[in-house]
Structure formats: C-alpha cells, structure tokens
C-alpha cells in the first residue's frame, strides 16, 4: 500500500510583509484586543496554509501579524494533524483564512469547538461558491482565487479595524495589480505553446495548467488516487508509463512535497525518455518567495521545460 508521510506540525510564524517579500515574526495579540488608529496595535490573523498567510500579511501590512499553520515544504498537507498549540493559535486569532474543500477541515473543527463572535473566518471554497464535491482542492493555483481572497481579507480587516479600512483596501488593490506578471506569463505560455501535452502525478498545479491551455493527459482517477494516498490501478499506472515511453507529453510535473517509489519511477522513466521534469510545491516555499513570485516561478519553470534539454528542473 502506498503511504503518505504524516507529521504533527507546529505553527510557523509568517510576518506581515510589504508587497515584495515575506518573512517571520513572533508578535501576537489576543482576540479581545481591538485595533485603533494607534499603529502599535496589531491584529492577529491565521492562514491555514502559508500562501493564505502571505496574502493576509500583504493586505494587513503594519497593522496585522499573520501566522501560517502549514508551512513545512517537507510535509504532505493532506495528512496534517493539528496539535493543541495549533488549536490555541486558531482560537486566539481575529481573522482566519482557510481553504475548505476538505483540505483543512481540522481548522473548522477547532473553530466550532470554541466559537467566537469576534472572529472572522474566510473559507475560500465558500467565498468562491464551490460545492463540497469540488474534486481539486488546490484552489490557490487558480488565477482568480487570490484577488477574491485579498478583497475579502480587506473587507474583514476593515470591519475589525474601521480606522484603517482604506489602508487595507488599498493594499488589496496593490496586491491584485501585482499579480499581472503571473497572468501575463500564463497568457504568453498559452499563446506560444497551445495545447501542450503534459503529465502529472496529482492535481496540485492543474488549475494553473488549465489556465495556461496545457493538456493534462494523466487520467483524473490516477491523479486522485495519488493525491488521496491510494495505490493507483495497474492499468492507470500503465497509461502513465506510456505517456513517457511513447513520448506523448512534453513535460512531467510532480509534487515535490509527496514523493515515493512510484513517483521516483516516473521521474526516472521521464528522464530516460528525454521528458523534462518540473517539481511543483503544494504550499509556498519559504524563505525567498511571496505568493506572486512563487506562482510566477512555477509558470516560468513550465515554459523553460517545454524547450529544455535539461532533465530535471525545480524551484
């Protein structure tokens, strides 16, 4: 049986940042604290995943301390187990952003166990109006997701801290504008390499691939099995192998955070057949990236791989 690594991960702090970088911070405040015009007052906010914490930090700026629960790039987020320390951080937060679609249900469980009228919760699935049965939970790879999230963050922070509502809205607008480079890179790929056939292990970057006009030839049932830690059927493994041995794809993308013997066999097979391999991340790699630069790097690696003779590329 194929197994995924399951680690008990402590919350890692992610500092409030300006629009070009993310870093760590240890400041916090209790949910009973109320923000005012005094810039020394800080709102504590939580992103269940560090990509959401990064956007909170960019929108909140100097008035918000944003912390991420899932930040370890060596951990499989699908098997994350919340510790008591994580529960304490969530219950102390004034604002929480979580993915939904069953990806971080532990956050909802903690919130329901300790309800608070002073806590704002943004569930991205609900924000986007997606059904519970949405098959691909990696919503942050969809280009339309984070502008909506940034706007919702600005609105909720403005409700918590009305004195700085205009500041939050301006930061959200600046964040959305800064995504233009990523959008332009996606559009350029789609125009230059239309219908590029690719293979994947699981649907981590599928939303971005769809936006870029790529044609993912890996069967969905295979991707879902890998994502959920199940052994894919032999016939689906054979189909995946044939994508490399018969040179049906131009790029192979795999999730760097979840690798096993099966994934490694695909990497070897792709390399042996001259298919460039691109490793993608499920949560934002830090330090050195913010959400914008991370997404842009993913598209740039894909673009380089289409014409690359180098066997393996990683961020």
Output the pLDDT for position 75: 64
CA atoms within 13 A on the CB side of 233: 9
d(CA 185, CA 167): 29
Which one is the CATH code of 12-178: 3.40.50.1980, 3.30.565.10, 3.30.450.20, 3.40.1030.10? 3.40.50.1980
Residues of the chain with pLDDT under 50: 1-37, 310-312, 315
The residues spanned by each domain of the chain are 12-178, 181-313
Output the pLDDT for position 20: 27
Instruction: Please state which architecture CATH assigns to domain 181-313.
Output: 3-Layer(aba) Sandwich (3.40)
Output the pLDDT for position 77: 67
Nearest partner of 241 among 218, 208, 261, 258, judged by Cα: 218
Output the pLDDT for position 258: 85
Decide whether 12-178 matches 181-313 in CATH topology: yes
Is 252 in contact with 267 (CB distance < 8 Å)? yes
Taking the model in full, what pTM does it have?
A: 0.85
DSSP, res 257: T
Output the pLDDT for position 27: 31
Is 56 in contact with 153 (CB distance < 8 Å)? yes
d(CA 254, CA 276): 11
Question: Helix or strand or coil: residue 64?
Answer: strand
Output the pLDDT for position 40: 58
């Amino acid at each position: 049986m194929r197994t995924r690594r399951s680690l008990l991960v402590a919350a890692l702090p992610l500092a409030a940042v300006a629009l070009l970088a993310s870093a760590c911070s240890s400041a916090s405040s209790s949910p009973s604290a109320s923000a005012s015009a005094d810039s020394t007052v800080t709102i504590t906010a939580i992103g269940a995943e560090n990509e959401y914490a990064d956007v909170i930090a960019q929108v909140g700026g100097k008035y918000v301390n944003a912390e991420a629960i899932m930040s370890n790039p060596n951990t499989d987020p699908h098997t994350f187990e919340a510790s008591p320390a994580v529960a304490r951080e969530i219950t102390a937060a004034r604002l929480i952003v979580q993915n939904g679609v069953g990806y971080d249900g532990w956050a909802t469980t903690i919130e329901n166990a300790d309800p608070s009228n002073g806590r704002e919760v943004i569930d991205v699935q609900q924000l986007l109006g997606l059904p519970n049965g949405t098959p691909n939970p990696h919503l942050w790879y969809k280009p339309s997701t984070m502008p909506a999230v940034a706007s919702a963050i600005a609105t909720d922070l403005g409700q918590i801290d009305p004195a700085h509502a205009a500041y939050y809205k301006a930061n959200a607008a600046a964040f959305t504008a800064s995504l233009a480079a990523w959008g332009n890179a996606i559009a350029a790929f789609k125009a230059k390499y239309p219908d590029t056939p690719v293979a994947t292990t699981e649907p981590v970057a599928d939303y971005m691939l769809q936006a870029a006009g790529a044609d993912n030839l890996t069967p969905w049932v295979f991707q879902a099995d890998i994502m959920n830690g199940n052994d894919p059927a032999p016939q689906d493994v054979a189909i995946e192998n044939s994508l490399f041995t018969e040179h049906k794809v131009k790029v192979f993308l795999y999730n760097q955070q979840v690798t096993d013997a099966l994934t490694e066999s695909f990497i070897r097979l792709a390399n042996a057949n001259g298919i460039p391999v691109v490793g993608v991340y499920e949560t934002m790699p830090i330090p050195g990236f913010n959400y914008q630069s991370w997404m842009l790097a993913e598209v740039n690696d894909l673009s380089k791989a289409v014409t690359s003779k180098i066997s393996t590329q990683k961020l």
